[in-house]
Amino acid sequence: MTQPTECQPINIIRKEGISTHFSQNISQKVLILTEAFPFMFIGEIISVVNDFVEIKVQITSIPALEGKTWFVHIDSIEVFYIETETGIKIPELKE
């Protein structure tokens, strides 16, 4: 972490904050929306490696890509929601 008196670009602060937040929620269910294919991931956070989040994907927009481990770059994440014990649950989207 940097000293409070140092000036850093907002992108570095954003990456650190998001990486820390994901690291604190290992094993939790997550919903991630990205701007690029396959656009949506729902799965379990496995780890955070540098600026990538490792996810065991349960559901995505392409069924053939489900059940695999994906590394999603933090910069490609547009929106995310991490399920917690006290928060709203991510719905099951399977039929």
Domains located in the chain, CATH noted: 26-82 (2.30.30.100)
Q: Are 34 and 13 in contact (CB under 8 A)?
A: no
pLDDT on residue 7:
76
Largest CA distance in the chain: 53
Model pTM score: 0.84
Residue 4 has pLDDT above 80, yes or no: no
Give me the mean pLDDT over the 66-85 stretch: 95
